Amino acid sequence: MTSPDIAATGARPAAHAAPARTGSRLDDWWARVLRTPQRLQLWYWGAPIAVTLLAAILRLWDLGTPHVLVFDETFYVKDAWSLLHLGYEGSWPDKADQSFNAGNTNIFESSPSFVAHPPLGKWIIALGMAATGAGNSFGWRLSTAVVGILAVLIVFLIARVLFSSTIIATIAGFLFAIDGHAIVMSRVALLDNIVMFFALLAFGCVLLDRRWHANRLAAKLLAARRAGRDPRGDPCSGGARG
C-alpha cells in the first residue's frame, strides 16, 4: 500500500515496489493455467455467459408445468392480463381460475378490482403474456423467469466489481444459478423475484456510483499534486489539515 508521505507529496514509489493487488490467488493460478491473452479474454467474457446460460436452462426448462395457476399467481397473472387490456386491474367473476386455466382468459370485467400492490411488477408479467398469449402457463411465467436469469448475471457482475475477480464472480453466479429457492421463485409469476431484481440493480448502481466518485476523486488529487497544491486541505477531496 502507498505510504501517507508518498500520498501527501505525490512522489513516485520506488521501482521495486509491488503493484497493487487485485483479484485472488485463484485468479493468479488460473491466469498461469490459461497462459495466453486470448484465453484470458475468452474466460473473461465466457464465464458470465456460461453461468447465465446455466440459469436460463434451469429456469426455462418445462416452465409451463404445472399448467394451472398456483398460489398467488391467481392474483398477479389475472391482474396483469386485465392491466394489459384495460390499463388498470379489472375484476373477475367467481371461479375465474378454472376458466383461465382452460384458456378462456378474456372474462375480466370492466369494473376495477381491489389493488394491493404497485403495477410495475404486473406490467412486467404482462409483457410475457403479450409475447406468447395468456392461454398457456409458459406465457404467465416467462417474464419472471427472464428476470431471474438476468439476476444471476447481475450477481456475477456485482461480485466481479466487489472482488476484482472473475473466479469469485463465477462462483457467486454459479451458486445463485443453482439455488433452489431462486429457481422456484423464477418459475412462478409472483412479484417477489421482480422486487429482488430491482434491489440488485439498485445495489449495482451504488457500486457504479462509488467507482465513478473514486475515479473523479483520484483525478482531482492528481491534478492538485501536479499543480503543487496540498490536496489534504480541500474539503471536496475528503481530506482535512491536521
Q: What is the pLDDT of residue 237?
A: 55
Contact 156, 170 (CB under 8 A): yes
Q: How far apart are CA 139 and CA 133, in angstroms?
A: 6
Q: How far apart are CA 220 and CA 213, in angstroms?
A: 10
pLDDT digits (tens, 9 = 90+) for 105-134: 989 999 998 888 889 999 999 999 999 988
Q: How far apart are CA 228 and CA 214, in angstroms?
A: 21
Q: What angle do CA 161, 166, 167 make, to 5 degrees?
A: 130
Q: What angle do CA 205, 55, 68 make, to 5 degrees?
A: 110
Residue 74's alpha-carbon distances to 1, 30, 130, 197, in angstroms, are 57, 49, 18, 22
Classify residue 39 as exposed, middle or buried by CB count within 10 Å of its CB (0-12, 13-18, 19+): middle
Least confident among 16-30, 31-45, 124-138, 144-158:
16-30
- Locate cell 436460463: which residue? 56
Q: What is the pLDDT of residue 47?
A: 94
Q: Nine-digit cell at 156?
A: 456475477
Q: What is the pLDDT of residue 6?
A: 38
Give the type of residue at 163. F
Q: What is the CA radius of gyration of the chain?
A: 26
Q: What is the pLDDT of residue 30?
A: 78
Q: Nine-digit cell at 190?
A: 409472483
Contact 194, 121 (CB under 8 A): yes
Does 29 score more than 70 pLDDT? yes
Q: Which residues contact 94 (CB under 8 A, 6 or more apart)?
A: none
Report strand pairing: 109-112 vs 90-91. antiparallel
